Structure 1
């Protein structure tokens, strides 16, 4: 699951080879002030991209920008509430032309269907599905005109794994997976690659809080025997936006540590 409410990661040392990788490119990362988004923003900046960091908290935004600049990178922060259409439109306008878009921001509420209100339903679809849709609609055409661009959507294993709770969260991410494949078809012929990453439980402040600090419960769920780390997802994002993944388009990359078999060993 993606996380836009937790803080993690630090600006690592940048080397000349890494800086050459994304030098001259601009990346917009939503939900960049915490969790996976922060790790992504730090890594892309360390590899030479100018990062436009989106979030809701200006204080955390300033902290992220300072961390990136301390590592020799370039960044600026834009605050916006992605549940509001006008705010998403403003974010796209203030970001301007970008070469990389990482749709990471997300909300989740693992409630049963009877306990899921209409407002909860609408917020999940607004942030997890509609906001990426509007940002791609606003930014991808300019990428296509330049003949180059990379979009990565942070999905979730909840899009394909069934559970007795969290149906609306899973539905919002399943829709994002379908949009990913459609966008790859729509913009791929014009040089814009669109892919998604589907993480399982990732260890962040937000997920630790959600599960009452009991993330160790996920040690038995995956073949890796542990929950994932934000930096591991950030590395997957880096791969998908760099030229070394130039032949990958329309893929949903599973990053869940390996599924355990339901059959007895």
Structure 2
């Protein structure tokens, strides 16, 4: 288990679901974690839980939609925790539905949140990480970035873009000490997927595990990629999907 004492981590979407579980796991290893999200109440509750467990955490309320919001978040996070050593791009939106009923507003929201914001967070943070000689970036994608699924084309394609960016960033920043990798979760029980009901279980039954994941199971994979144990891992997309990749 990596000791991350003395490092600072920024986790987007850190006030719920996979992001919250990741923030808690990173803080448990000693990192000073800055989490961001739109819901201030949930964010402050998460910070209190981390601090109560002996960790260091701060919350930054932010609506992330483009370059300006991404760069502003980096500035505010570094004011609280100092230079960021670990970035976890966990925030994402996933409206599902038929292509012919998807409006341009939904299309733009998905790509702004799932692609544009991670792009400009990396643009703001990776050069400084490289100048310091090291850092880790972990992007959260999805198993439906790997195969076609009816009604999931918009979400899946945005995360497929993030898969390609993960590999491109690894090639760009890896030679200067910045490791960039991704985790590809399968169906996971979170606040965001609660509305899926039985559909989540049905989707999970397509894999050998036969069940949805808990957020903590995804978080452990993210923390592994952020830590020293994964020091020789660059540009990887780690499936944490209950074996769906195997069938």
Q: Measure the CA separation in 1 of the matches of 2:126 and 2:97.
A: 34
* Aligned equivalent of 2:232: 247
* Aligned equivalent of 2:122: 136
In structure 2, the residue corresponding to 1:27 is in which secondary structure?
strand
Gaps of 5+ in 2: none
In structure 2, the residue corresponding to 1:221 is in which secondary structure?
coil
From the superposition, tell whether residues 260 and 87 of structure 1 become closer, same or farther in structure 2 (CA, over 3 Å).
Answer: closer
1:105-147 CA deviation, whole Å, 9 max, x = no partner? 0001111111111111111110000000000000111100010
* Aligned equivalent of 1:37: 19
In structure 2, the residue corresponding to 1:168 is in which secondary structure?
helix
Query: Which of 48, 71, 86 is the aligned partner of 2:68?
Result: 86
Q: How does 1:142-153 map to 2 (within 5 A)?
A: 142-153=128-139
* Aligned equivalent of 2:8: 26
Q: Measure the CA separation in 2 of the matches of 1:189 and 1:35.
A: 33
CA displacement at 1:220 relative to structure 2? 2.0
Q: How does 1:169-188 map to 2 (within 5 A)?
A: 169-188=155-174
Q: Measure the CA separation in 1 of the matches of 2:104 and 2:200.
A: 29
Q: Measure the CA separation in 2 of the matches of 1:95 and 1:233.
A: 24
1:136-193 CA deviation, whole Å, 9 max, x = no partner? 0001111000101000000011111201212111110000000000000010011000
* Aligned equivalent of 1:52: 34
Q: Measure the CA separation in 2 of the matches of 1:132 and 1:204.
A: 21
CA displacement at 1:84 relative to structure 2? 4.1
| Number of residue equivalences | 243
Q: Measure the CA separation in 1 of the matches of 2:100 and 2:53.
A: 48
Gaps of 5+ in 1: 1-17
